[in-house]
Amino acid sequence: MSIRVVALTVALAALPALARADRGALTLNLGPAITALGARPSQGTGSTTIATGVGGWLGVRYGLSNAVEVSAAAQWEAPADYFHTGVEIGTTTGAVRGTLSERVQRLGALVGVHYVRGYAWRVHLGAEVGWTRETFDRRDLLDVSDPGNVHSFGLGLQQRVVNALVLAPVAGVEWQFADHWSVSVLPRVEFIVGGSSRIGLVVPVGVGYSWYLF
């Protein structure tokens, strides 16, 4: 019986430990992020496309307790060009209909709370709130009625900036593969409220380093 107990103890000791997150740990995360979000025209009504983009993610988390972390993050998306068909824009001489071309870039910031369970492998569940800013430039309305003679209507469209509130539930996993070092995948479903209200998915993949303060 004693041999079996010893063997069972050794086997359990070899398994990954399930513990709680570290209280007092300050973690810095940095890495790329992939975004899927509905891209709507910045003016008028017209076609909406599902935009997929790549950007950067910088996050900071602090362990208030062995199960609760507070977080703050900033995100950046690379500029992308979009074309929206069937856009109608009013002018002093009447409405003009065509294809709206524009370059879009998005920035944002979020703060939130995470419930964390695990040690080497950690599961994150949380909620975040923040702000997003979309900048639309290089805007032009194109006449594409004749594919062989695509040209601008010459409306002189100006840059536009749209700010909106973001609400985001979070669910993901983190692996602490060495002392102080970890990698994480923490997807967020972003509910963008205001301006052009939409739902998007952001998947940041980060490398983290932790300082243990107290």
Could you tell me the two tokens for 36? 């899927």
Contact assessment for residue 174 and residue 22, using Cβ atoms and an 8 Å cutoff: no
**What confidence tens digit (pLDDT) does each residue in 124-166 have?**
999 999 999 999 999 999 999 998 999 999 999 999 999 999 9
Spell out the SS3 assignment of the chain. Answer: CHHHHHHHHHHHHHCCCCCECCCCEEEEEEEEEEEEEEECCCCCCCCCEEEEEEEEEEEEEEECCCCEEEEEEEEEECCEEEEEEEEEEEECCEEEEEEEEEEEEEEEEEEEEEEEEECCEEEEEEEEEEEEEEEEEEEEEEECCCCCCCEECCCCCCCEEEEEEEEEEEEEEEEEEECCEEEEECCEEEEEECCCCEEEEEEEEEEEEEEECC
Find, among 14, 37, 26, 111, the residue nearest to 61 by Cα: 26
Amino acid at 63: G
Residue by residue, pLDDT tens for the chain (214 residues) are 566 555 545 544 444 443 345 788 999 999 999 999 988 899 887 888 888 889 999 999 999 998 999 999 999 999 999 999 999 998 888 889 999 999 999 999 999 999 999 989 999 999 999 999 999 999 999 999 998 999 999 999 999 999 999 999 999 999 999 989 999 999 999 999 987 788 999 999 999 999 988 6
